[in-house]
Amino acid sequence: MEDKLYQDNIDKDTSIFSEGIDVNEFRKGYKLYNFRRPDKFSKDTLRALQDVHREFSKQISMILTGYLRMKVNIDIVSVDQLTYDEFVNSMPPSMSVGIFEFNPLPGQILFGITYEVLSCIVDRMLGGKGEAIPHYKELTDVETSLTKKIIDIVIKTLNDSWTSIVPVEYSIIGLENGFQSIQVAAPGEIVALLTFEIQVSEKTFGLASLCFPYPVLETVIPHLTSQHIFQTKGIVATSEERQRMIHKLNPSMMEIRALFGTCNITLEDFLKLSVGDILQLDETVDKDLIVKINGVKKFFARPGILKNNLCVKITDIYDEMYELMRNYE
């Protein structure tokens, strides 16, 4: 009896294919699973990582611009998941890699930066113009020390960006040349790879890579959602966070201009101007000047002289309505 039932089941299963039913239709509801390379990070998790580190890239761009006194622009270009072995093999050998931890998260994280950008930054820190060295050479002791300083600035900023996800404290483990000699995860372990494009002084381009092994993020994945990140952005900053933000902004460079007045002349008259010529402006000496900060009107001021130098004294905060009214006087 059991043999007959077993044979009936076989006949029933084989009839599915003999009747011409689509195999894909028969498999509906099932998902193919690659045991050699499983997808451990969902699309929403990768999207959340991209959102967090997009904010990080903006912050570190401003900080490095102020620190180096030259324009630094950093943009996140991709977020991928791949095995640790694939990640190491895809990285160029001429990269300086910082190894660090986010306590209390388990495991170690890697941040690498290409030699072209690093040599440009180090040259600037040594008092140069910020010119990149085209060919890789081993870092000297002084250059290694400066590299550690830059890595520390980057990771500290990254630590601050992660406070919206989970409170962490960073600790730097070491600095290595290239990813090939580092083993922070098993070869088949899945990692999240974030790639950044770095532009220094609009003439030097390079890449930076941030590698999170899956075990490091496993416990915080429930917090790595776009909804959670969006909600935490609305939280009012504490006084300590505000002070930290002000401290970061203090070294930022700003352009200040005092507008003495304007006038309209022809191009012909402009080309004929020489030393000693006088231009009649549309402002009188008894009216306040307008002071612009980064091109935005911010203050009223009066001109003067201090220690044989031309100067302006801030008299009031700029008010658009007041400016309109005084123009009709």
* pLDDT tens, residue by residue, 233-249: 544 456 777 777 778 77
Nearest to 37 by CA among 102, 85, 70, 2: 85
Dihedral sign for Cα 145, 147, 149, 151, please: negative
Query: 157 in helix, strand or coil?
Result: helix
The residue length of the chain stands at 329
Query: Per CATH, which fold does 43-249 belong to?
Result: Chemotaxis protein chec (3.40.1550)
pLDDT tens for the 329 residues of the chain, in order: 545 544 555 455 545 444 554 545 545 555 554 555 556 788 888 888 888 888 899 999 999 988 888 888 999 999 999 999 999 998 888 888 999 999 988 889 999 999 888 989 988 888 888 888 877 778 888 888 999 999 999 999 999 888 878 888 999 999 988 888 888 888 889 999 999 999 988 788 889 999 999 999 888 888 777 665 555 554 445 677 777 777 877 887 888 988 888 888 899 888 988 998 888 887 777 788 889 988 888 898 988 888 888 888 998 888 877 777 666 55
Residue 139 · residue 96 · CB < 8 Å: yes
What dihedral do alpha carbons 65, 118, 217, 62 form, nearest 10°? 0
Strand pairing of 296-306 and 289-293?
antiparallel
H helix runs in the chain, sequence order? 2-18, 23-26, 43-68, 84-90, 115-125, 141-161, 214-217, 226-232, 239-249, 267-271, 320-327
Pick the CATH number of 256-327 from 3.30.1360.40, 3.50.50.60, 3.30.390.50, 2.30.330.10: 2.30.330.10
Domain ranges of the chain: 43-249, 256-327
Backbone angles phi, psi at 107, to 5 degrees: 85, 180
The tokens for 248 are 């970061």
Amino acid at 61: S
Nearest to 91 by CA among 111, 66, 69: 111
Q: Distance (Å, rounded) from C-alpha 171 to C-alpha 60?
A: 18
Residue 115 · residue 150 · CB < 8 Å: no
Q: Residue 111: in which H helix or E strand, if any?
A: strand 109-114
Strand pairing of 296-306 and 309-317?
antiparallel
For residue range 33-47, what is the model confidence (pLDDT) as tens digits?
A: 455 555 678 888 888
